[in-house]
Amino acid sequence: MVLTMETFEHLGFLLQLPEGISLSQAASFFANSDPDMPAAPVSAAVVHEWILQHIASSLECTAKENSQQSVSDPDVTMADAVTNTRIQSSAPIGTSLLNNPGCYRSTTFVEGFSKTSVVKQASDMKGNSIKVLNCHDSVIYIFAPLKFATVYGCSDTTVVLGAIGKVVKVEHCERVQIIAASKRISIANCRECVFYLGVNHQPLIVGDNHKLQVAPFNTYYPQLGEHLAQVGVDPSVNKWDQPFVLGVVDPHDSLSHRAGVSDVQAESATCLDPDLFTNFLIPSWFDSQGPTINNPFTLPQVHWASQRKKHASLKDIQKNIRELELDDNRKKELACALHAQFKDWLYGNLLIYR
């Protein structure tokens, strides 16, 4: 088995390299390839050995950094120790939270919320990372420029991620809506989720996923343009509709069986029907000011056409309601119906300050 340079570049989703350096440049077997000629394929065994060396080197560097930080970091308070224990006990499987207290200080956690809304702004952030864990039937707003974001173990929840400069990871979620502006996004082991994306690179889909849908980014807030510029996300480039599927799964038991003859290509995401696409309105809870007054990511023409059609339908409904000749009882029924719908919307947007 051999890998071409183009195929090898896909591993860049999994390996972190310095900004501006491609994976093929970092690997010695492609670094000296003639730019005017196709690079010769490389044996998979050679690539495997290089990856193992890369991981071993990274682990060694991480261990050295941790040992240095443990000397300089001050002792933690009892409150910090309790917080650290809680975070460790609820950490998702497969994550590696360091014992170093500095790790927790550099990450903001939104964890365990149910049937409510949570807003986090730049002033609420600790460091450059956010983790949204085990939230259900809620709406989570993150209005801050960050490097990393993780959404794990959530269900029936909408998560708005304003500007993420490195990568968004969404894992083990069900029936969530993710609205994210980011350079990259990785999706693993999710079901019946919709992703409204403004991403500069192809969305990566790995693991056992089912009924995923993707759509273009659909919201804005006053500081969004500034936040995108701060973290280096280019709103003129959006590859939301080009998901890249990595790996295969066993249709009988994707957890306990190794890859074999019965394996199939991992399920990709489908594009949301443009007629089902809607803009997501962020309530004006704060007197925040900013230059962004529209979605900074350009919508495809088919989505623009769908929006115009919906606006026209709304105007027709408003006109018909104004022209209705109703008696007092029918007017009360109509008012009650509108009031009930408004209460449902308001209940989903109750604000918690944390």
What are the domain boundaries of the chain?
2-67, 89-276, 301-348
- The SS3 call for residue 13 is helix
Residue type, position 137, single letter = D
Instruction: Express each pLDDT in 188-222 by its tens digit.
Output: 999 999 999 999 999 999 989 999 999 999 999 99
pLDDT above 90 (res 265): no
* Tokens standing for residue 219: 């919201």
Q: Report the run of H or E that residue 338 belongs to, with start and end.
A: helix 328-347
Nearest 5°: CA angle at 326, between 325 and 331? 135
70 Cβ partners below 8 Å, 6+ apart? Answer: 100
The pLDDT of residue 333: 85
Q: How far apart are CA 182 and CA 194, in angstroms?
A: 16
Q: How far apart are CA 315 and CA 36, in angstroms?
A: 58
Q: How many CA atoms lie within 13 A of 334 on its CB side?
A: 12
What fold is seen in the domain 89-276? Pectate Lyase C-like (2.160.20)
- The SS3 call for residue 4 is coil
Instruction: Express each pLDDT in 309-351 by its tens digit.
Output: 888 888 888 788 777 777 888 878 888 887 777 766 555 444 4
pLDDT above 80 (res 134): yes
Backbone angles phi, psi at 310, to 5 degrees: -70, -40
Instruction: Express each pLDDT in 213-253 by its tens digit.
Output: 999 999 999 999 999 999 999 999 999 999 999 866 555 54
Indicate the average pLDDT of the chain.
76
* Tokens standing for residue 134: 């085990």
Instruction: Express each pLDDT in 45-77 by its tens digit.
Output: 666 666 766 666 655 554 554 455 444 434 333
Residue type, position 328, single letter = D
Q: How far apart are CA 172 and CA 150, in angstroms?
A: 11
